[in-house]
Amino acid sequence: MSELSIEFSRVPEIINFAEEELKILNYWNNIDAFKTSLKQSKGKSKYSFYDGPPFATGLPHYGHILTGTVKDIVTRYAHQQGYYVERRFGWDCHGLPIEMEIDKLLDIKGPEDIAKIGIKSYNHECRKIVTRYANEWKIIMGRVGRWIDFDNDYKTMYPWYMESVWWVFKQLYLKGLVYHGIKIMPYSTACSTPISNFEAGQNYKNVTDPAITVSLPIIGDKDSAAFLIWTTTPWTLPSNLAICVNSQLLYARVREMSTNAVYVLLKARIETVFKIEDYEILDVFYGCELKGAEYEPVFSYYKYLKPKGAFRVLVDDYVKEQSGTGIVHQAPYFGEDDYRICVEEGIINVGDDPICPIDEKGCFTNPVMEFQGQYFKDADAGIIELLRKKKRLVRLSHIQHSYPFCWRSDTPLMYKAVPSWFIRVEYLSKLLQERNSKTYWVPDFVKEKRFGNWLKEARDWAVSRKRCWGTPIPIWMSNSGDEVLCVGSISELERLTGTKVKDLHRESIDHLTIPSRIPGNPTLQRIPEVFDCWFESGSMPYSQKHFPFEHVNEFFENFPVDIIAEGIDQTRGWFYTLLVLSTNLFGVEPFKNVIATGLVLASDGQKMSKRKKNYPDPIQVISKYGADALRLYLINSPVVRAENLFFKEDGVRDTVKYVLLPWFNAYRFLMQNIEMYVEKRRVHFEFLDSVNEAQNVMDAWILSLTQTLLLQVEEEMTSYRLYNIIPRFIKYFDNLTNWYLRMNRSRLKGETDKHDHLLALLTLFSVTLTITKSMAPFAPFFSEHVYQNMKKLCSLKDESVHFLMYPKPMSNYIKDDTERAVLRMQEVVEMGRTLRDKKSIPTKYPLPELIVIPQSVQYADDIRSLQQYISSEMNLRTITVSCDKTKYGISLQAKPDYKTLGTKFKSDYKPIAKVIESLVDDEINKLIANGCFSKDGEHIDATFVRVAYKTEVSVSKKYVLEVHDDVIVLLDVHPTPDMIEEGTAREIINRIQRLRKKSHLSPMDKVEVFYKASPQYQTIAEKYKEFIENGIKTTFLPKTTHYVSNNQIVVLDHQSFKNGILQIILVSPRDKILPFVKWANVLYNDREGLILLETTRKLLTLNEVMLNVQCLFDIYENISLWCANGQLLNDEQISSLDGETIYVLPSNRECQISLERKQPYCQFLNFVERGISGTIVLENPVGVKTVTEKDYAGIIKKWLKPDP
């Protein structure tokens, strides 16, 4: 009879997910899958998405892969819901990350170095490295399965993008929201520029700084007393102009006994400065009495300001009593409160140039000559020593506290008065909060807490930077500052300057001047500052479309955007700037939905560091486990709840174990059994879109469960709760593989009639295909892999699973009653397994009886309807279902909770304890139902009682008991001798099946099984021969039969049982099995041999391979070994040589490669012993017998020895 050909590819027993993904990547590239999907959805309703632009100055890390995966899943899902989803990549090209790279490259220390080479040359260097890693980004993002358009990207350095940034700024300027002023700003000395307050919050570190208490003698004091100030920033003392107290707090005049010196400080802080036995309080008064008192400053650099009120006591309630001395020194150009108070008191004026003795690089300059050229932090030690010499240092200690560092250069920030251009935000705080309330966040606490709190404290935004590589701020101004002009487009600049403009960077426009509107006045010059790069990225919704110069209608169709997703740190970055600009421009929120992710840290909780090498390289993880596994691991972790993830490679491995492998096993089992169906039934298999009403209860259950899962996924994805998705799939795959497949194995293998066989396969095909389609957004590679094979057996013709719409839940398949019944069946089976485990009785051994005692009739009916499955799964002879527990000698027993009673009644607990012990079944049930019960005058609360079940002695001897809330299970754990023998026979079947799997044999591979057994097992093997053969689907014969022929090989296994050993031998055609260890064919002239590349669990070296080859063919001359790729063999190639051919030639000859053979040249024998597998070569070279059967034991024993 001729064989029917199968229309699909045979599924191997094992799979390398990473290798299969590379094939899928190649397939996607061949069909241009992403762009094809966009073409197919063109014209459909739009789902909009913004991709926050990263810098391309470094390679993608796990944080990028995480957010990229989240975005990819959401947009894939939206596409499969029938939307057109433009997915456009963008690049942040300007700002400190780029400039810092160039500064390192060109050894630039400050602005003067840039001036030497010129802005044009400097910006040219910046432009060269902007997309240094763009190609690597494209490759890595593609490798993790992210579909996004790199070809139609946007870059913040494109002139058309910069033009839209100008337009945004001009709109704010026209609304009066832009102003120039001096504010205390976080300042990066390494970058020589102020940064925004939200940037300053990104990089706090715990540091140790000096904490000094300094004396300031009070002028004209009768006791020669001195004020005591406390500071952790000694470097600010040269800039001191005043001190400040709280008018409502109590201060004290204190004499230090050991020195007789008199000091003034906050009363509540005395004992933090002086020992309790070393001071006396001379007077106590409120801070308001100190107002106006004058003191001698430590440094005299700014004594000329004394007539304006400097060096006296000011009052303000910002001074608190929780730290320091309650007297705060004021350096107005280095502290926000200091500046405010000194302006209010007239010591300085808002319009004055800042009094700042520290230059742009953070070094002291005029008039602080003692420390000129010293970095501000380095000067602390010298200042402290000078205070000591001047006898002004009262106390010196050190404090550990949190201090801000520059997010880019990782150097300490200083807060410094810097003239800047600001956008008004403070006035907008309530409106920002209102617009935020219209948005939906996952998780919600980020919206309400982290982001909401930040909006409440919103500050005016300093958008100017004193840098070169950025979008220039489009303000032209007269030297006096009286005339200011803001430009909002290229055409406007061309009109005003009369010059054609092609680029908007500084080197292209700084020289352009604009005539003054006032006749006779000099021309207007552009201010030198550029925009904060966060202003550019915050303008992204408009600039990426070149709005309003192009695509106006398209912009408004997609604004506000449907979704953005970035790390939680963007609450003070991109999320914030998007909202500020959108609210200022249009009075609306820029996004509808936000997913905020946490941080991915190393496994020890530290920041991932290339230097420390404390995390696995992402590409290596993907190469090992596949991108799907990494994607699923990330979205199934706390990081998608905006919590931190301590990245563990084991977590990726476990994702393979609990998601991908069960999915693969179900798919493989299906396809293998379809192949067997075609062979057995002699008909083609075809799936016609859906399954009719299920006739089998387990078919109905798995179909219902599949549709319920789709409903759950739909609900979670609609709410953007990605963290709930994978747990549901894990539960589903557990139900599919460990329940449906196990309980329907005989049907799926064709052991029932033809119609039922087909129905079972159609059901499994239906749910596997549905799950494959539903997993497509989450695991795009393996979904594609499975779909490409399954579609050959159904009507689907789409080139990719990602071109299909997401499966819609079909309510007609959902059977709540069936799901409930199976859930209860599972509960009973799990209880039975627990009882077997307690008695160490494997399921393979039959047991006489299981008694199920539910509390409800419905539960009992559910169990009766499925009891044949329970019986089969638990290997039982009988199942009894009854709601009457007393029939089986079971009753409730109430025991006093003595701990609770002792707390409540102390020593009077005995009477109520006695009543509790007397409660009978009905009374206990009433107690449970009502929460309390009264008897013999005692009121018994349910918390006083511990309820248990007790059994009669006769029952407890025969059965073991397991109790859950709704059901009791009794299991008879005394098997008969026949049952024990049958269990042993089942154990033999299981060992044979495991050996087949170990040998990588598929169910379609024909084998014969032989055995050699000790007397006890010989009897069982003979008695249950037919039973075993039905289980293994082949012959089971004693070893005395001739079992090795010239065209067959053998797999040998010694199985240990309780009372003996069973040797199992699988005989299979040679082309169906390969050695268990790494191997290579060896060809020398016309002679063929075989080399095992690993022995005793160790890979051979090149020298060892060479020696083996020379011994194998008795070669005494110098030789060279060549690989099939025409290269000389080396040590690095040994591990990848498995299954290849080594060519042996004299060392002076080049290799001429002939067609190699992938099957071993020589006969061999595989074995498994004590869990260790190995291979014995039976002939080598071909035709030369090397070992006999009596040699096997010695060779195997050698394999089992541990390596020295």
Confidence of residue 727 (pLDDT cuts 50, 70, 90): very high
In terms of Cα–Cα distance, which of 573, 751, 551, 724 is closest to 636? 724
In whole angstroms, what is the distance from residue 205 CA to residue 58 CA? 23
Closest of 685, 758, 756 to residue 5, by C-alpha: 685
Strand partners, 940: 933
CB atoms within 10 A of CB 1123: 20
Residue 74, both tokens: 């959401």
Please state the rounded mean pLDDT for residues 259-275.
Answer: 93
Give domain limits for the chain: 36-164+535-645, 204-404, 978-1070, 1074-1200
1149 falls in which pLDDT band (50, 70, 90)? low
- Say if strands 262-266 and 328-330 run parallel, antiparallel, or are unpaired: unpaired
Q: Which of 1140, 1144, 1142 is nearest to 1158 (CA)?
A: 1140
Q: Return contacts of 619-623, CB within 8 angstroms, 24+ apart.
A: 619/140, 619/143, 621/649, 621/652, 622/18, 622/143, 622/144, 623/18
Residue 1 has pLDDT above 70, yes or no: no
What class has domain 36-164+535-645?
alpha beta
Sign of CA dihedral 534, 537, 541, 546: positive
Give the pLDDT confidence score for residue 1047 in this predicted structure. 47
Query: In the predicted model, is pLDDT for residue 483 greater than 60?
Result: yes
**Crossing angle between the packed helical segments 867-874 and 857-865, to the nearest 10 degrees:** 60
Write down the pLDDT at residue 637. 93
Q: What is the pLDDT, as a whole number, of residue 1203? A: 53
Q: Report the mean per-residue pLDDT for the chain.
A: 89
Q: Check residue 605 and give its pLDDT.
A: 83
- Cα Dmax for the chain: 123
**pLDDT score recorded for residue 109:** 82
Are both 36-164+535-645 and 204-404 of the same fold? Answer: no
The gap from C-alpha 555 to its chain's centroid, in whole angstroms, comes to: 33
* Dist CA 619 CA 210 (whole Å): 45
Question: Residues 928-949: what's their mean pLDDT?
Answer: 81
Q: Return the bridge partners of 486, or none.
A: 475
Question: Looking at the domain covering 204-404, what would its CATH class be?
Answer: alpha beta
pLDDT given for residue 943 in this prediction: 85
Whether the per-residue pLDDT at 4 is higher than 70: the answer is no
Cα-based angle 291, 297, 300 (whole degrees, multiple of 5)? 135
Position 1002 confidence tier, pLDDT thresholds 50, 70, 90: confident
Could you tell me if 375 and 363 are in contact, meaning their C-beta atoms sit under 8 angstroms apart?
yes
pLDDT in tens, 328-364: 999 999 988 999 899 999 998 877 788 889 988 889 9
The confidence band for 501, taking pLDDT boundaries of 50, 70 and 90, is very high
Weakest mean pLDDT among 777-786, 1083-1092, 1172-1181: 1172-1181
**Res. 1124: pLDDT tops 50:** yes
What is the per-residue pLDDT for 1046? 45
Residues of 432-470 as b/e, b for ≥16 C-beta within 10 angstroms?
bbebbeebebbbeebbeebbbebbeebbbbbbbbbbbbb
What is the percent of the chain with per-residue pLDDT over 70, rounded to a whole number? 96
Higher confidence at residue 524 or residue 678?
Answer: 524
pLDDT digits (tens, 9 = 90+) for 151-166: 999 999 999 999 999 9
Q: Predicted confidence band at 38 (pLDDT cuts at 50, 70, 90)?
A: very high
Q: Give 126-152 pLDDT, tens digit per residue.
A: 998 888 888 889 999 999 999 999 999
Element (H, E) at 444: helix 444-445
Contact 276, 339 (CB under 8 A): no
Model confidence at 994, pLDDT cuts 50, 70, 90, reads confident
Per the CB < 8 A criterion, the answer to whether 559 and 599 are in contact is: no
Q: What is the mean pLDDT of residues 856-868?
A: 95
Is the separation of the CB atoms in 167 and 90 below 8 Å?
no
- Written out in words, the top-level CATH class of the domain with range 978-1070 is alpha beta
Is residue 1150 very low, low, confident or very high in pLDDT (cuts 50, 70, 90)?
low
Nearest to 60 by CA among 89, 18, 34: 89
H helix runs in 682-790, sequence order: 697-718, 725-735, 742-743, 745-748, 754-774, 780-790
Which residues, at least 6 apart from 622, have a Cβ–Cβ distance to it below 8 Å? Answer: 18, 143, 144, 630
Structure tokens at 478: 């007269």
Section 910-923 average pLDDT: 82
Percent of the chain with pLDDT over 90: 57
In this predicted structure, the answer to whether residue 639 has a pLDDT above a threshold of 50 is yes
8-state DSSP, 659: I
pLDDT, residue 930, reads 83
When mean pLDDT is compared across 311-315, 949-953, 1176-1180, the lowest value belongs to 949-953
Q: Is 843 exposed, middle or buried (0-12, 13-18, 19+ CB in 10 A)?
A: middle
Distance, in Å, from the CA atom of 650 to the CA atom of 873, rounded to the nearest integer, reads: 32
Average pLDDT over residues 503-528: 94
The per-residue pLDDT for 918 is: 81
Instruction: Compute CA 436 distance to the chain's CA centroid, rounded to the nearest angstrom.
Output: 26
For 305-326, how does the pLDDT look when each residue is reduced to its tens digit (9 = 90+)?
999 999 999 999 999 888 899 9
User: Cβ distance 339 to 417 under 8 Å?
Assistant: yes
pLDDT at 1056 over 80: no
Residue 86 CB neighbour total at 10 angstroms:
16
Q: What is the pLDDT of residue 170?
A: 97
State the Rg of the chain over Cα: 40
Angle at 839 between CA 837 and CA 840, to 5 degrees: 60
**Where does the pLDDT of residue 193 fall: very low under 50, low under 70, confident under 90, or very high at 90 and above?**
confident
Q: Which amino acid is at 1067?
A: V
User: Virtual CA dihedral for 899, 902, 905, 906, nearest 10 degrees?
Assistant: -170
The residue ranking higher by pLDDT, 510 or 1042, is 510
Q: Which pLDDT score is estimated for 1156?
A: 58
